[in-house]
Amino acid sequence: MVVLEILFWLSGALIVWTHAGYPIALALAAGAAARLRPPPARAAPGARLPSLSLIVAAHNEESVIEARVRNALALDYPRERLELIVACDGCTDATAARARAAGAKVVLELPRAGKIRAQDLAVERARGEIVAFSDANALWDGDAARELVAAFSDPRVGYACGAVSFERAGGASNQEGVYWRYELAVRSLESRLYSITAGNGAIYATRREAYIVVDPIMGHDLSLPFKMVKRGYRAAYVSSARAREKMVPSLAGEFARKRRMMSHTWPIVLRGGMLSPRGYPLSYALMMLSHRVLRYFTPILHVIALAANVALVAEGAGALYIVALALQLALLAAALLAGRVRTRPLLIARYYVLTTASPAAGLWDWLRHGTVAWWDAAEGTR
Q: What is the pLDDT of residues 13-28, one digit of tens each?
A: 999 999 999 999 999 9
Residue 10 lies in a domain: no
Least confident of 6-15, 57-66, 321-330, 334-343: 334-343
The residue among 219 and 242 whose pLDDT is bigger is 242
Residue 271 lies in a domain: no
Closest C-alpha to 162, from 176, 175, 180 = 180
**In the predicted model, what is the mean pLDDT of residues 237-262?**
90
Residue 188 lies in a domain: yes
Residue 335 lies in a domain: no
Number of domains in the chain: 1
CATH code of 184's domain: 3.90.550.10
Residue 146 lies in a domain: yes
Residue 254 lies in a domain: no
Confidence of residue 42 (pLDDT cuts 50, 70, 90): low
Does the predicted model carry a pTM greater than 0.75? Answer: yes
Strand order in the sheet with 204-207: 106-110, 82-89, 52-58, 130-134, 204-207, 157-167, 234-246, 139-140
| Helix ranges (DSSP H) in the chain | 2-16, 22-36, 65-73, 95-101, 115-125, 144-150, 176-193, 220-230, 251-271, 282-288, 294-296, 298-314, 319-337, 344-369
| Contact predicate 381/246, CB 8 Å | yes
Write the single-letter amino acid at 65: I
Angle, helix 344-369 to helix 298-314, in steps of 10 degrees: 110
Residue 199 lies in a domain: yes
**In the predicted model, what is the mean pLDDT of residues 327-355?**
91
pLDDT at 339 over 80: no
Residue 290 lies in a domain: no
pLDDT at 84 over 80: yes
Domain extent at residue 224: 52-249
